[in-house]
Amino acid sequence: MDEVLFTFLDVETTGLNSAIRGGDRICEIGLLRCRGGEEIAAYHSLINPGRPISLAAQAVNHITDDMVADAPPFSKIVEKALPLLEDAVLVAHNAPFDLSFLNVQLSLLLIPELKNQVVDTLPLARSLYGFPSNSLGNLRRYMGLNIRGEHRAMEDVLTLRDVFLHI
């Protein structure tokens, strides 16, 4: 029997509101597909969100409008991203946030919402540990895992994978 496929995912956004009309959008995506702990595919891209990145979002993710000006729109990266999501258990930290943005972007392209099984490491960490903060970066520090950048999609995906495997 094949081992379970996991796709670790993270998105950076222009803000916190994923509403389909007038909401914020994805400005960076990171995906890492693994089977049995082995990386089998990865995808990362800045994305031109078609709207300004809020100053509050820039303060967190350090992605500026200039950085995404020449990046492809979501419609141009979706064909590369979808195969990494298919038939996999999706792993995200605060999954409702990431998935709400991803599903809005898919719906705008008339692509059905993702129906994958999901593992959310945020409530998992809250239920297993008594850490003062369960942000992904803090989990990494508390668990003594490799130091990477924070609040950039691929760095967060790699940290997410390490946290998931640690748990």
Q: State the catalytic residue, choosing from 44, 93, 151, 166.
A: 151
Nearest to 11 by CA among 88, 104, 81, 102: 102
Closest-CA residue to 77 (of 22, 29, 11): 29
- Which residues touch 9 (CB under 8 Å, ≥6 apart)? 29, 30, 31, 32, 85, 90, 91, 92, 98, 102, 157
Mind spelling out the 3-state secondary structure of 63-98? Answer: CCHHHHCCCCCHHHHHHHHHHHHCCCEEEECCHHHH
Active site residue 151: yes
Q: Rounded distance, CA 92 to CA 49, Å?
A: 21
Instruction: Return the active site residues.
Output: 151
